[in-house]
C-alpha cells in the first residue's frame, strides 16, 4: 500500500506546480522575493514606506456554487477570475491597492492540466488587479470529494494610506450615487439560479436572442474587477466617500454597509437598464422583485457615493478604464438603509 493507492498522487501534485509556473510568472511584481514551490511567499513592503500610515487591508472569498456551472460546461479557465475578483474588489472598496493573492484548490483527484487551467484564471484575475500570485495550495481529498469536482477559494492582501481609507463616515445628504455596470450575475445567487434553470449541458447550450449568447456563456461570464476603475477615480482627484461592492445580499444588504447613521441611499430603478439575464431569471423563476434586489447585483457591481460636484469627473474616469457608469440616485436624510424607487 502507498499514498497513490490511497488516492493521493504526489507526482500529479508536482506536475501541477510545474504547469502552473508558466502562468504565475505573468503576475510577478518587483516586490516578490520568492518563487513558486516554497513553503511561503515573501513580499517586500519597501515601496510603501513613503506612506504616512500604511494600513493593510485583506479579503478572502470563494466562488460559491457557480463552480457547479464550470463542472457542467467543462470550462475551468474563468472561475479563477471570479475568485480573485471577490477578494480584490472588497479591498478596492476600502480604498486599497491589492498587493498579492494566494489560492486554495481542494479536489477529489488532481488532474494537473485541469488544475493548471483553473490557475490560469486566477492569474488573469491577478493581472487585471495588478496583484502578484505568490503562493497557494492544491489539496487532494479522495473519499471526501468526487474525483471530477473541486472547490476554489482565495485570500488577498492590499495596502492603503490610512488617510485614504474609504469609510463612509463623511457621506451626507445630497451626495450622489454612482453605479458601475457589472458583467452579469458575477458570483452570487447561483443556488437560486440553479433552481430556476435546468442545469444540464443541453439547457446551458440554448441560445437566447435577448442574451445574445447561450445561457451557459452568459452565466459563466466572470466577475468584473474594479481595482483599476476605482484607482482611476482616485487619480482624477475625486474623493470616494463611500463604496459598496454589490455581492450576495444585493442592494438591500450591501449598500447600507457604506452608510453612516442618519442617512439613507435612494436608488432609482429606472436610472439604468437592468441586463437581460436578470429579467430572464426573474421571469423564468417567478421571483418577486424585492428578492431579486436582495440577492443579485441587478447590473451594478459597485455603487459609489461622491460629492455632486464630482459626478462628471467620476463618470469620465470610469469610462477611461472601459467601465460604464450611471448616476443611480442620491443620499437623503433618514434611517440608515436603502430605498428603491
d(CA 263, CA 332): 6
Res 86: pLDDT: 97
Res 173: pLDDT: 97
Nearest C-alpha neighbor of 89 from the set 156, 178, 41, 171: 156
Res 2: pLDDT: 44
Structural domain spans, the chain: 10-164, 176-340
Q: Which three cell numbers stand for residue 183?
A: 458583467
Q: Which pLDDT band, with edges at 50, 70 and 90, does 31 fall under?
A: confident
Res 20: pLDDT: 63
Res 16: pLDDT: 65
Q: Across residues 290-304, what is the average pLDDT? A: 98
Q: pLDDT (tens digit, 9 = 90+) per residue, 137-168?
A: 999 999 899 999 999 999 999 999 999 999 99
Q: pLDDT (tens digit, 9 = 90+) per residue, 80-101?
A: 999 999 999 999 999 999 999 9
d(CA 93, CA 102): 19
CATH topology of domain 10-164: 60s Ribosomal Protein L30; Chain: A; (3.30.1330)
- Check whether 21 has a pLDDT greater than 50: yes
| Beta carbons within 8 Å of 91's beta carbon, 6+ residues apart | 57, 58, 59, 97, 98, 156, 157, 158, 227
Higher pLDDT among residues 7 and 131, named by residue: 131
Q: Which pLDDT band, with edges at 50, 70 and 90, does 78 fall under?
A: very high
Q: Which pLDDT band, with edges at 50, 70 and 90, does 68 fall under?
A: very high
Q: Which CATH number is 176-340 given?
A: 3.90.650.10
Buried b vs exposed e over 36-67: b needs ≥16 C-beta within 10 Å? Answer: beeeebebeeeebeeeeeebebbbebbbbebb
Q: Which three cell numbers stand for residue 103?
A: 489560492
Q: Which three cell numbers stand for residue 122?
A: 486566477
C-alpha distances in Å from residue 201, one per residue of 148, 219, 289: 16, 13, 28
CB of 309 closer than 8 Å to CB of 174: no
CB of 157 closer than 8 Å to CB of 131: no
Percentage above 90 pLDDT, the chain: 84
Q: pLDDT (tens digit, 9 = 90+) per residue, 220-250?
A: 999 999 999 999 999 999 999 999 999 999 9
Q: Which pLDDT band, with edges at 50, 70 and 90, does 282 fall under?
A: very high
Res 5: pLDDT: 53
Res 4: pLDDT: 60
Amino acid at each position: 500500500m502507498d499514498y497513490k493507492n490511497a488516492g493521493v498522487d504526489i507526482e500529479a501534485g508536482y506536475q501541477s506546480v510545474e504547469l502552473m509556473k508558466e502562468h504565475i510568472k505573468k503576475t510577478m511584481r518587483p516586490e516578490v522575493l520568492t518563487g513558486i514551490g516554497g513553503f511561503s511567499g515573501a513580499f517586500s513592503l519597501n515601496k510603501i514606506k513613503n506612506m504616512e500610515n500604511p494600513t493593510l487591508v485583506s479579503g478572502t472569498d470563494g466562488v460559491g456554487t457557480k463552480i457547479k456551472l464550470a463542472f457542467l460546461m467543462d470550462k475551468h479557465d474563468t472561475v479563477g477570475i471570479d475568485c480573485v475578483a471577490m477578494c480584490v474588489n472588497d479591498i478596492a472598496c476600502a480604498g486599497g491597492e491589492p498587493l498579492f493573492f494566494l489560492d486554495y484548490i481542494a479536489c477529489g483527484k488532481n488532474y494537473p492540466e485541469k488544475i493548471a487551467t483553473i490557475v490560469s484564471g486566477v492569474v488573469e484575475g491577478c493581472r487585471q488587479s495588478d496583484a502578484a500570485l505568490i503562493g497557494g495550495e492544491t489539496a487532494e481529498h479522495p473519499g471526501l470529494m468526487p474525483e471530477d469536482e473541486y472547490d476554489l477559494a482565495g485570500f488577498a492582501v492590499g495596502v492603503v494610506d490610512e488617510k485614504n481609507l474609504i469609510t463612509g463616515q463623511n457621506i451626507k445628504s445630497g451626495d450622489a450615487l454612482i453605479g458601475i455596470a457589472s458583467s452579469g450575475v458575477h458570483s452570487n445567487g447561483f443556488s437560486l439560479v440553479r433552481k430556476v434553470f435546468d442545469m444540464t449541458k443541453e439547457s446551458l447550450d440554448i441560445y437566447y436572442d435577448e442574451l445574445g449568447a447561450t445561457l451557459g456563456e452568459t452565466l459563466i461570464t466572470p466577475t468584473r474587477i474594479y481595482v483599476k476603475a476605482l484607482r482611476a477615480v482616485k487619480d482624477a482627484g475625486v474623493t470616494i466617500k463611500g463604496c459598496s461592492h454589490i455581492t450576495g445580499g444585493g442592494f438591500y444588504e450591501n449598500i447600507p454597509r457604506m452608510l453612516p447613521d442618519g442617512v439613507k441611499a435612494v436608488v432609482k430603478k429606472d436610472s439604468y437598464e437592468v441586463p437581460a439575464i436578470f429579467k430572464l431569471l426573474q421571469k423564468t423563476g417567478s421571483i418577486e422583485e424585492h428578492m431579486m434586489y436582495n440577492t443579485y447585483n441587478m447590473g451594478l457591481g459597485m455603487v459609489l457615493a461622491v460629492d455632486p460636484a464630482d459626478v462628471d469627473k467620476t463618470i469620465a474616469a470610469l469610462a477611461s478604464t472601459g467601465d460604464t457608469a450611471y448616476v443611480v440616485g442620491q443620499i437623503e436624510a433618514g434611517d440608515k438603509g436603502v430605498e428603491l424607487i
